[in-house]
Amino acid sequence: MKYIILFFFFICSITLSYTQEICGTEHFITSEKGKNFYVQLNEYIQKEFPSVKSNKTTTVIPLVFHIVYNAPQQNIHDSVIYRQLDILNNDFQRKNADTNNTPSAFKSVSGALDVEFCLAKQTPNGQSTTGILRVQTATTSFASPVNYAVPDPIKRTNMGGSDSWNTEKYINIWICNLTGSTAYTAPKGNFLPGDDGIVCHYNHIGLTNGYPYNKGRSIVHEMGHYFGLKHIWGDDNGTCAGTDFINDTPNQANYSTNCPSFPLVDACSPNSPGVMFMNYMDYSEDACRNMFTQGQVNYMIAGMNFTIPNIHNPTTCSFPTEISEKHFSQIVSFYPNPFSDNLLVSFSAPLQNGTLRIKDLNGKTVHLLQYITADSEKINTSLLTEGIYFLEIFDENFYSIKKLIKIK
């Protein structure tokens, strides 16, 4: 009998853990305040979108991560943040390695958003920062809000959290021990001043063991909300009458679970190709989600113009300065520097899900390699202009960056 009880306790524990993997933003979307916000946003987009769409400038967005921890395991390593930043840029720019998993029926409507996320390098007062704040708290856990007229504790230093930075100039992301959901978003202008931003459980950021949301796409999903997107099924509880206001996403009865096989049909889309369960705004497992549509991209461009028109700020956006030169030299070597048409990078030990990036002085990625397994990489740099660059290399346990100089 004892073993039977333990077995059922184990099964229930798994079930409880899994039921928490739901976006807490749904509370806001289905509230009267949320419904009014999305109606106003859609009216604005229908009226103003033609002028917004003509803007071809890459939007550079500084992020600040607030790591609010009570226990040591919640105080995640900087490398986890760097990995999450990489995932955000790849997924929004459609440079993710799993684009080939998008079914051919939906590839024609897939889209890429011309945005560059990076860590803030300046505080609101102009001081230097890494863009990663660490706050130890006596609060053991934080919950997704259901009342938007009261302060959100995670975003208040005097309530055990961490005060937000200027939400006109930065996107704030809080990492904590979150109960009830994987993550949630407070879209700009809908909550109390300073409460705008994204909150995520510490076990669901970057590449983690927090299956099934373990590939960093919880924050990709929430960033979609921050830019104005609703859930792909329209949050209508299966009536087929709801809408996400996007013309190129199929009508969908409810959220998807697990990792479905294609095609997946339902009452709202009963014929192939069915519903778009691989969309970032669904609830499928991280391994199954791999796309935004062009309609969603257009909507996000207009949504940013509606809610955060002044967020583009490359002067306050960068990535960390050089660190741990001795550690770097033990793991990575590169030649020559200054370099011209080619750069050879060698590794003394295998990287774990390694990533290599070359960035310019503005923090923009000009060369990217992912999932590195070879012991060396020869990089063609002939197309780079003369100047200063930064070689950024990281994996699950290591991060470092070195300055490079390109010559003729």
Other beta carbons within 10 angstroms of residue 258's beta carbon come to 12
pLDDT digits (tens, 9 = 90+) for 384-395: 999 999 888 877
**Least confident stretch, 34-43, 268-277, 323-332:** 323-332
Q: Between 1 and 244, where is the model more confident? A: 244
Provide the pLDDT confidence category of residue 266 given band limits of 50, 70 and 90. very high
**Element (DSSP H or E) covering residue 176:** strand 171-176
Report the CATH fold assignment for 321-406. Answer: Immunoglobulin-like (2.60.40)
pLDDT digits (tens, 9 = 90+) for 17-64: 344 548 999 889 988 889 899 999 889 888 877 655 555 678 999 999
Provide the pLDDT confidence category of residue 232 given band limits of 50, 70 and 90. very high
The CA distance from 229 to 197, in Å, is: 14
Structure tokens at 366: 């000009």
Structure tokens at 99: 């684009």
Catalytic residues: 222
pLDDT digits (tens, 9 = 90+) for 136-192: 999 999 999 888 889 999 999 999 999 999 999 999 999 999 998 999 999 988 888
Highest mean pLDDT among 83-92, 304-313, 350-359: 83-92
pLDDT at 315 over 90: no
Beta-strand runs (E) in 337-395: 342-347, 354-359, 365-372, 376-380, 387-394
Q: What is the pLDDT of residue 76?
A: 94
Question: Stretch 323-339: mean pLDDT, rounded?
Answer: 71
Q: What is the pLDDT of residue 55?
A: 54
Provide the pLDDT confidence category of residue 66 given band limits of 50, 70 and 90. very high
The CA distance from 14 to 30, in Å, is: 27
The CA distance from 249 to 356, in Å, is: 34
Nearest Cα neighbor of 279 from 244, 329, 242 is: 244
**Element (DSSP H or E) covering residue 175:** strand 171-176
pLDDT at 83 over 50: yes
The CA distance from 355 to 395, in Å, is: 6
Question: Stretch 326-335: mean pLDDT, rounded?
Answer: 70
Type of residue found at 160: G
Q: What is the pLDDT of residue 162?
A: 98
Q: What is the pLDDT of residue 10?
A: 37
How long is the chain? Answer: 408
Domain ranges of the chain: 11-314, 321-406
What average pLDDT is seen over the chain? 86
Q: Which CATH class is domain 11-314?
A: alpha beta
pLDDT at 238 over 70: yes
**What Rg, from alpha-carbon coordinates, does the chain have?**
22
What's CA 57's distance to the chain center, in Å? 21
